[in-house]
Amino acid sequence: MADRRKYVIPGDIVTSGPFRPEQNVILEGNNIIATAVGISEIYEDSVKVIPLTGKYLPKINDLVIGKVVSHTSLSWELDINSCYVGFLPAMDVFGRDFSTHADELSSKLKTGDLVAARIANFDRTRDPLITISDRDLGKIDDGVLVKISTSKVPRLIGKKGSMIQMIEIGTNAAITIGQNGWVVVSCETPEGLSKAKKAIEMVNEKAHIANLTDLIKDMLDVKDES
Amino acid sequence: MGGRDATMVLLDKNGIRCDGRKIDEPRKIMIRAGGLKNADGSAYIEFGDNKILVGVFGPRDVHPKHMSNTDTGILRVRYHMEPFSVDERKRPAPSRREIEISKVIKEALEPAVMLEKFPRTAVDVFIEVLQADGGTRCAALTAASVALADAGIPMRDMVAAIASGKVADTIILDVNNEEDQAGQADMPIGYMPSLKKITLLQLDGVLTPEEYKKCVDVGVKGCEIVYELQKKALHDKYFGNRDD
């Protein structure tokens, strides 16, 4: 789709003309200016910049991995690797008949627990609202947390999930990727676990290399034989 | 203090300055993006004999809470000189001058940084001057802008800065320590090169209106030179080992 890609830094003029500015660009007069370090992409009627650095900014419907930092009598607070804390109401976990007297929040989620969650609502006036009432969501019982840069999450997933599928098949591990750059890896064998971890860290470091998929494939295959 | 040489010639008849530069020649500048692992973004600059390290954190929670703004994020800047950065040991507590420069740099960065995207948060910029030799505020501002871009804070434009001034009745670019002490005027300029807007303009000394205009023009040209180096620093870090 993208007919023109360019490396840009803040202030660079991506293009000029009648384009719709999307993420990380602003319209200044007739020029479209990048606001982040990244790769610009010009589509038929819109322009955007894919950032290479920066913190995670919650987006509605994103799957994230959160870590419980504290709870009140009504809700949990989750660290979601962002500038805002995730807000998980108790009613979401206990159901509508939740009562502050009968239910103890720490019986379900304790401080330090990892949670796969979805951003239910977020606007600039409030902290992001989080939900775990969906299939595949909820407390993560086992696995290792690997932290990668937010901007490299799409690379780890790959085109239509190709990269992550390959790592999963190559190591027999189950991998959950949060859009916030936190990844949980669980595997029955310790070798598979360490290999999957290594592969994820490699994607994080070498995200810019063109034939990374082959590189990872080689790494996983070679290790299999030895 | 460092024993100012009364007989020193600031500008000789061939138009060569006390450190061998031409009148419109900046000092040697080296900028490096990144370098600090624990900061969200960082930059290091060598601007002649100035050596400055900048670390950026954020956007993150505001502490104390009452400082936060529900409409927009806030920018906090600390400019600090190391005790060993000058000839005679400088006491490490923030001085009047450091507090002022912190404020000046903060206000010079604010037009560029798009904090309204992160309400209720703060972006903290920590500037450490390791070695000072005149023009630290410009060098610090230049490096701070690279560090902010490295941290991924959305910005309308980079901010490049350099000082112009007047020495021996001539307008010069990039005032060094000697020229600052003995010269007639010193004008630090911060400039957004793509938007063509000035974000910092100070003047210490006396200039005629014509000299003032020339001084600004020379400074803006200097900022464009600095901007190319900022660009190079970011390109080296992010696109350095790429094919195209």
Chain A residue with minimal CA distance to B61? Answer: A83
Residue A100, C-beta contacts closer than 8 angstroms, at least 6 positions apart: A73, A74, A90
* Residues of chain A contacting B59 with CB distance shorter than 8 Å: 55, 83
Q: Which residue is associated with the tokens 């009148």?
A: B23
Express each pLDDT in B49-70 by its tens digit: 999 999 999 899 898 999 999 9
A155 or B39, which is more confident: B39
Nearest-CA neighbor of B191 among B228, B217, B161, B146? B161
Q: What is the pLDDT of residues B137-150, one digit of tens each?
A: 999 999 999 999 99
Interacting residues of B64 by C-beta distance below 8 A, sequence separation 6+: none
What order do you get walking across the sheet with A174-177 strand by strand? A144-147, A182-186, A174-177
Q: What CATH number should be reported for the domain whose range is A63-140?
A: 2.40.50.140
Under CATH, which architecture does the A4-51 domain have? Beta Barrel (2.40)
Confidence of residue B241 (pLDDT cuts 50, 70, 90): low
The DSSP annotation for A12-27 comes to -EEEESS-EE-TTEEE
CA–CA distance from A161 to each of A130, A153, A165, A177, B54 (Å)?
24, 11, 6, 11, 38
Sheet containing strand A25-28, edge to edge, reads: A13-16, A31-34, A25-28
pLDDT at A60: 92
Strands B74-81 and B121-131: parallel
Minimal C-alpha gap between A172 and chain B (Å) = 32
Q: Say what the alpha-carbon torsion angle A146, A147, A148, A154 is, to the nearest 10 degrees.
A: 70
Residues ≥6 apart with Cβ < 8 Å to B15: B22, B23, B170
Give the whole-angstrom CA distance, residue B184 versus residue B178. Answer: 11
Average confidence (pLDDT) over B43-47: 97
Question: Least CA distance to B153: which residue of chain A?
Answer: A54
* pLDDT tier, A62 (very low <50, low <70, confident <90, very high otherwise): very high
Partner residue facing A33 (CB), from B121, B152, B156: B156
Query: Could you tell me the two tokens for B243?
Result: 């094919």
ipTM of the complex: 0.84
Cβ of residue B239 closer than 8 Å to a chain A Cβ: yes
pTM here? 0.89
Evaluate if residue A2 carries a pLDDT over 70: no
Return the ∠ at Cα B191 (arms to B187 and B196), rounded to 5°.
130
Residue of B nearest to A150 (CA): B152
Residues 6+ apart with CB under 8 A from A2: A41, A42, A43
Q: Which residue of B has its CA nearest to A7?
A: B239
In terms of C-beta distances under 8 Å and separation of at least 24 residues, what long-range contacts does B24-30 make, across chains too?
Answer: B24/B172, B24/B173, B24/B218, B24/B221, B24/B222, B25/B173, B25/B174, B26/B162, B26/B173, B26/B174, B26/B222, B26/B225, B26/B226, B27/B174, B27/B176, B29/B225, B29/B226, B29/B229, B30/B229
CB B9 within 8 A of CB B170: no
Dmax (CA) for chain B in angstroms is: 59
Q: What pLDDT, in 10s, does the model give residues B3-39? A: 455 567 888 888 899 889 999 999 999 999 999 999 9
Confidence at A212, pLDDT banded by 50, 70, 90: confident
The tokens for A13 are 């003029």
> Closest Cα partner for A68 from A126, A121, A110, A128?
A110
Q: Do domains A4-51 and A63-140 have the same CATH topology?
A: yes
CATH of A144-225, one of 3.40.50.1580, 3.30.1370.10, 3.40.190.10, 3.40.50.1820: 3.30.1370.10
CB pairs < 8 Å spanning A and B: 83
**Does A36 have pLDDT greater than 70?**
yes
Strand partners, A116: A65, A138
Rounded Cα gap, residues B171 and A30, in angstroms: 36
Three-state helix/strand/coil letters over A143-202: CEEEECCHHHHHHHHCHHHHHHHHHHHHHCCEEEECCCCEEEEECCCHHHHHHHHHHHHH
What pLDDT does B4 receive?
53
pLDDT at A151: 84
Contact B122, B76 (CB under 8 A): yes
Domain ranges of chain A: 4-51, 63-140, 144-225
Distance of residue B138 Cα from the nearest chain A Cα, in angstroms: 19
Would you place residue A67 in the very low, low, confident or very high pLDDT band (cuts 50, 70, 90)? very high
- B153 contacts A33? CB cut-off 8 A: no
**Mean pLDDT computed over A203-225:** 75
Residue A77, pLDDT > 90, answer yes
- Is the pLDDT at A224 greater than 50, yes or no? no
Q: Rounded CA gap, B215 and B134, in Å?
A: 18
Tell me which chain B residues have a C-beta less than 8 angstroms from the C-beta of A35: 114, 154-156
- B14 vs A: CB within 8 A: no
The neighbour count for residue B126, using CB atoms within 10 Å, is 19
Read off the pLDDT of each residue in B203-223 and give the average, rounded to a whole number. Answer: 95
Closest CA to B43 of B240, B232, B244: B232
Q: Architecture of domain B29-238 in CATH?
A: 2-Layer Sandwich (3.30)
